[in-house]
Structure 1
Amino acid sequence: MRHLILVDAAIGLVENPAPVKSGGVVAGLFGIRPLRTALIATVGTQPLFSEFWLRKFVARKEVVTPSRTAIYREPFVLDGFTASLGDWAVQFAGESGKSLSERPEGFRKLPIPLTLVWGQEDTITPLPQAQVLQRLAAGSRLLVLPGVGHIPQIEDPALFNARMTEILQHP
């Protein structure tokens, strides 16, 4: 690998992690796979909520069209998808400093160039998270895409593709 490009990366980086506390009743219930799967099926992979959730990830709401929403729904019919999505959510939420991507020293020691591509309006992984990564990884660069949120490749495909082409041509 010669160059790492992160696009609005949800990596869970914590500069000064707080002590991990027990998750309480909700975390306990979410730890029971059948209950978790039922909850995910009710609100996460329920087709009636697809448009709602997709709109939460973008700044340009007009890109959430019926055809695009249909594409995001396609995996919902795969056997085991909902349970697997719940398993991923538990793992992602419960990392608490265990993943290398959550530790600042990993970015300080990154042996290859890093380019961060970030939507200026990203509310899922806000721009300050990209700025922290840029400070940690010496020599990294940050390209901010104006007017887009967490999924810039669908919010402004022309701008996103142009920036990616530039990065790949001139790493």
Structure 2
Amino acid sequence: VKYVRQFVDMRGYDSMILVGNSLGGHIAQLYALDQPNKIRAMVLTGSSGLFEDSLGGGYPKRGDYEYIKDRTGYTFYDPNVATKELVDEIYEICNNRGKAIRIISMAKSAMRENLAKLLHRLTMPVLLIWGKEDKITPPFVAEDFQRLLVNSELVLVEECGHAPMMEKPLEFNRILNEFLQKLKVAA
């Protein structure tokens, strides 16, 4: 959150709509809790903060391409979304010791930091876009977010896993655009 705050301050932003997926959603929530007056709205998708199987049952295994390919495919409803280029990128990250340690550290921190008791403080509009077949943060987590976030709306995306913006980009963008248009009308 410190780095996000520094970036926002450097850019001089004072009214933002945060969009975060998975761990990025967790960071968005923490930033919004820290700086609520700067957040106009939030969009969370497959977000951590309440529950997650963020590592899909195990930590990344360095040097094991097939394991990385399998875990990347696990992220999606359709494992074919995990292209060779995406798997190669994840494989490179997992084999970079520094990057892998930072990711594991952030994921462990997210697992320890349950935000359920704090979410009532977030009163800005929040759109929850969730894959109906998300195995990492299942739909019941989205329903918990909707219950705990006082001004939230949930949209479940059919035949979609943990990353709707990658797996169903046209539908994701349509849902996002409708939300942004509502915010414009409300302004």
Alignment of 1:81 onto 2:93: no
The CA RMSD measured in Å over matched residues stands at 2.5
Cα distance, 1:127 vs. partner?
0.6
Per chain length, whose mean CA-contact separation is higher, i.e. which structure has more relative contact order (CA < 8 Å, sep 6+)? 1
**Residue 150 of structure 2, aligned match among 138, 144, 150:** 138
| TM-score, normalised via structure 2 length | 0.64
**Contact kept in structure 2, 1:13 and 1:103, CA below 8 Å:** no
| Counterpart Cα distance in 2 of 1:3 and 1:119 | 20
| TM-score, normalised via structure 1 length | 0.70
Partner of 1:52: 70
Moved more, 75-84 or 118-127: 75-84
Q: Relative to 1, partners in 2 of residues 1:79 and 1:104: Cα closer, same or farther, differing over 3 Å?
A: closer
Bigger Cα Rg: 1
**Contact kept in structure 2, 1:6 and 1:116, CA below 8 Å:** yes
Following TM superposition, the consecutive aligned residue runs of length 4 or more in structure 1 with deviations greater than 4 angstroms are none
* Structure 1: runs of 5 or more not aligned: 15-38
| Counterpart Cα distance in 1 of 2:153 and 2:65 | 38
Cα distance, 1:144 vs. partner?
0.9
Q: Relative to 1, partners in 2 of residues 1:116 and 1:56: Cα closer, same or farther, differing over 3 Å?
A: same
More strand by share: 2
Partner of 1:10: 48
| Counterpart Cα distance in 2 of 1:70 and 1:111 | 40
Identity of aligned residues (%): 24
Cα distance, 1:13 vs. partner?
5.1
Number of matched residues?
Answer: 140
**Contact kept in structure 2, 1:134 and 1:142, CA below 8 Å:** yes
Q: Relative to 1, partners in 2 of residues 1:133 and 1:90: Cα closer, same or farther, differing over 3 Å?
A: closer
* Structure 2: runs of 5 or more not aligned: 1-38, 53-57
User: 1:1-171 counterparts in 2 under 5 A?
Assistant: 1-12=39-50, 43=61, 46-76=64-94, 78=96, 80-93=98-111, 95=112, 99=113, 102-171=114-183
